[in-house]
Amino acid sequence: MATGGWTLAIVIASKTLQLWGFRVHIMAGAMALVVGTLLIANLTTESSDWLAGAGMLLLGLGMGVSDVSIIVAFQNQVPWALRGLATSAMPFFRSLGGALGVGACGGLFNLWVARVDAPQLAQSLDERGLNRFEGLRALLDGDRRVQLPDTLTGPLADTLSSGLEPVFWVLTVAAVGTLLLTWFWPRGEADGRSAG
């Protein structure tokens, strides 16, 4: 859903940038990120798949609108000779931020999973020669999951959920921070030099 939303947003934003300008698009993208992360952070095991899909779609829309708008804005602010540099800086810093973000969120996930107090789960996993993280890998692997008894899948799913919850709340805070930063984006409309 996120990938489809991202693609759809790029198509729409590329057609509307000249009408509404960079700031409107970047702020709309940040708002979609906030709503999407809030939806995902509030998911429970009883939540509808549609709700999860809506959250992912909003994340994709938010990233897509912001992405194309920021790239075109950068291109419009530099001389022609520096457009390649400006354009390549965006994916470079996105990759760098993604690597740091994934590392930090992975560390947070591992910290929370390690802190889950589930002695019966630990004992059941020990009997099978697994630690908690190996149990989670088995839970997420379709072939290995069917080999797990029902007495393990529920507690492992709860452990996975307890590890993911703080990660999604950190992402929500980051999305809110992004939205706040968009207020500092300079006002003004796209001049159309690179939008077409």
Domain of 17, CATH number, reads 1.20.1250.20
Is residue 195 situated within a structural domain? no
Does residue 78 sit within a domain? Answer: yes
Number of domains in the chain: 1
Q: What is the pLDDT of residue 196?
A: 43
In a domain, 196, yes or no: no
The pLDDT of residue 29? 94
Residue 191 banded pLDDT, cuts 50, 70, 90: very low
Question: What is the average pLDDT across 80-96?
Answer: 91
Q: Rounded to an integer, what distance in angstroms lies between the CA atom of residue 59 and that of residue 39?
A: 10
More confident of the two residues 121 and 81: 81
With respect to residue 68, please indicate whether it lies within any of the assigned structural domains: yes
Q: Is residue 165 part of a domain?
A: yes
Winning range, highest mean pLDDT, from 4-8, 95-99, 140-144, 187-191: 95-99
Residues 6 or more apart whose CB falls under 8 angstroms from that of 50 comprise: none
Going by pLDDT thresholds of 50, 70 and 90, the confidence category of residue 188 is: low
**Is residue 100 a contact partner of residue 42, using CB atoms and an 8 Å limit?**
no
162 within a domain of the structure (yes/no): yes
Residues 6+ apart with CB under 8 A from 5: 56, 57, 58, 59, 60, 61, 62, 63, 64
Give the residue from 156, 126, 122, 121 showing the smallest Cα distance to 141. Answer: 156
Convert the pLDDT of each residue in 149-166 to its tens digit.
888 888 898 899 889 999
Residue 139 lies in domain: 2-182
Mean pLDDT of all residues in 90-107: 94
Domain-embedded: residue 126: yes
* CA-based nearest residue to 32, from 55, 13, 49: 55
Please answer whether residues 58 and 36 qualify as being in contact, where contact means their C-beta atoms are separated by less than 8 angstroms.
yes
Task: Let me know if residue 190 belongs to a domain.
Answer: no
